[in-house]
């Protein structure tokens, strides 16, 4: 099994879903650490409750985005990660950072990419009148919310939905689809061909 580092900025609900799966399925030894750019991120307490080492790298301590990316990258590199999972990490990572960790960065986004990149995805889905919405797990590229798609989950948009109710249903799906993809990456079961991807099934003794 390879090494996993997780980046957070907030409550850490996707972090918790990944750590819970890791504990239940026996791959906690892969989790090397959790890094937050906010000292008040609730996800830090989530990580500590699982016994995972945490670090704080406040972006406000750096004069530029590039300086922060360099310092964050150095901290991550010291943990020798094979997979870096973004779990609500609310900083846009620059091209140099993405290139440095090319093929190792994975993110979950609350829309059916390539639709609704960026912020306010649920409100925008309602404004556009779409009938289906969801979440996407993807490898990170230098283009915001792009990169090869690894998994998606779909929820119907209901007539009485609000951004909050829609977000809540999508979040349930995020928690369902993200941990298996992270595990597959750690086990080397992800194949990519340009933007097309395939996740191989886990051997029976690992399932």
Q: Which two tokens stand for residue 58?
A: 């406040």
Question: Per-residue pLDDT for the chain (207 aa), expressed as one digit of tens each?
Answer: 799 999 999 999 999 999 999 999 999 999 999 999 999 999 999 999 999 999 999 999 999 999 999 999 999 999 999 999 999 999 999 999 999 999 999 999 999 999 999 999 999 999 999 999 999 999 999 888 889 999 999 999 999 999 999 999 999 999 999 999 999 999 999 999 999 999 999 886 555
| ∠ CA 106-157-14, rounded to 5° | 30
Which residues are part of the catalytic machinery? 109
Cα–Cα distance measured from residue 70 to residue 76, given in angstroms and rounded to the nearest whole number: 10
CATH 3.40.50.300 fits 4-110+135-153+182-199, yes or no: no
Pairing of strands 4-8, 83-87: parallel
């Amino acid at each position: 099994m390879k090494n996993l580092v997780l980046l957070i900025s907030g409550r850490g609900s996707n972090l918790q879903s990944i750590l819970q799966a890791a504990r239940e399925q026996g791959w906690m030894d892969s989790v090397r650490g959790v890094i937050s750019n906010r000292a008040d991120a609730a996800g830090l307490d989530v990580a500590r409750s699982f016994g995972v080492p945490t670090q704080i790298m406040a972006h406000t301590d750096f004069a530029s985005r590039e300086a922060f990316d360099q310092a964050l990258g150095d901290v991550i590199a010291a943990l020798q990660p094979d997979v870096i999972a973004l779990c609500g990490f609310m900083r846009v990572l620059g091209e140099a950072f993405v290139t440095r960790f090319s093929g190792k960065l994975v993110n979950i986004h609350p829309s059916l990419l390539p639709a609704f990149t960026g912020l306010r995805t649920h409100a925008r889905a309602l404004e556009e009148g779409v009938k289906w919405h969801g979440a996407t797990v993807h490898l990170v590229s230098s283009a915001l919310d792009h990169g090869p798609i690894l998994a998606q989950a779909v929820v119907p948009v209901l007539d009485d939905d609000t951004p909050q109710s829609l977000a809540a249903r999508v979040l349930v799906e995020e928690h369902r689809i993200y941990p298996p993809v992270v595990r597959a990456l750690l086990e080397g079961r992800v194949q990519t061909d340009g933007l097309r991807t395939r996740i191989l099934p886990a051997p029976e003794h690992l399932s």
